[in-house]
Amino acid sequence: MRYSDFDQRLAALGALPVHRGRVARVWLDGQALDRGTRRRRSEHFLPLALRDAVPALTAELDGLARIRSEHAGSDGSRLLVELADGQMVESVLLPRDGLCVSTQVGCAVGCRFCMTGKSGLIRQVSSMEILAQVVLARRLRAVKKVVFMGMGEPAHNLDNVLEAIDLLGTEGNIGHKNLVFSTVGDRRVFEALPEQRVKPALALSLHTTKAELRAHLLPRAPSIAPEELIALGEDYARRTDYPIQYQWTLLKGINDGDDELDGVVRLLKGKFGVLNVIPFNSLEGDDYQRPDAERIREIVRTLHRRGVLTKVRNSAGQDVDGGCGQLRARAVGAEQVIELRRRKSTAKREAV
């Protein structure tokens, strides 16, 4: 169910735009649909047919998603969320009232350093399921910022993600730049976002300044050279008067060399943006490692000194083995499948 479908059902019950807006606001705030105001009870302003339908509507909304498990960590709690069909996604309660939501079950991009990408794309998450993640989180604590950086590639589910962003930026009482659209880069995003009523902040997954290496690390991402990606990002930043967040997962011996730092300075110096370096969240038995702590500090110091604003952003949930996709993988046994594949691959290499 998309929100537009739900909105049409409310209209069929005689709800005017003012009534439908009220229902959306109280639901997104985690409150009962027929909750009144400080001065008026709901029966004084909601149509009778809508009031009569509240129990059924509430049951349907509550059935969209539920928290299957919560894993508290030093940087916030990671939630394993089960959807109505039994599929699972992850949400993260971030510091400073932030929330990271998932937009797909799995992901088709297949980033080699990401657990989510190893499962492939299973299905899209509807706009109502995206919003339900916010509702579940708000029933636990305040949410003032939502980042679309969880499982999935938002650009591959663009209509649902944009619908959720629009509602959160209007009825959801979240500032537009506190909505962050994260993407590996897709030309459709740069065409669509400037046309939206709610124009979110933008985070672009860069990871390297080398086109061939980027194609290897992000094997099914759109073929956009780093130079073009940054040019598209710079145009959006200037049009919205808000900086781009460039994401860079640091992989030891892969993209942490001085040649990459030279490339970062060449591409990002003077641009309206910030580089977020994210030390790799080591997964047991995986093929990548995070750089040493001193190398990470050296990278940040060097880029600062050379004129590129750089921040370290650790992946949430590492202390509870809850990096993106790990909770779901354990829940469905995917890690065992991945380990089995790795053993078979190793056996083949040894046989050769």
Q: What is the DSSP letter of 145?
A: E
Phi-psi group of 67: left, alpha or beta (phi > 0 → left; psi -120 to 50 → alpha; rest → beta): beta
Q: How far is CA 46 from CA 37, 163, 187, in A?
A: 12, 25, 43
Q: At what angle do helices 158-170 and 17-28 cross, to 10 degrees?
A: 90
Q: State whether residue 105 is helix, strand or coil.
A: strand
The catalytic residue among 100, 107, 114, 324 is 324
| C-alpha to C-alpha distance for 3 and 163, rounded to whole angstroms | 7
**Given the residues 43, 90, 171, 212, the one annotated as active site:** 90
**Helices (runs of H) and strands (runs of E) counted in the chain:** 13, 12
| 324 labelled catalytic | yes
Tokens of 246: 């460039």
Whether 90 sits among the annotated catalytic residues: the reply is yes
Closest CA to 63 of 132, 2, 11: 132
The tokens for 95 are 């510091």
Q: List residues with catalytic annotation.
A: 90, 324
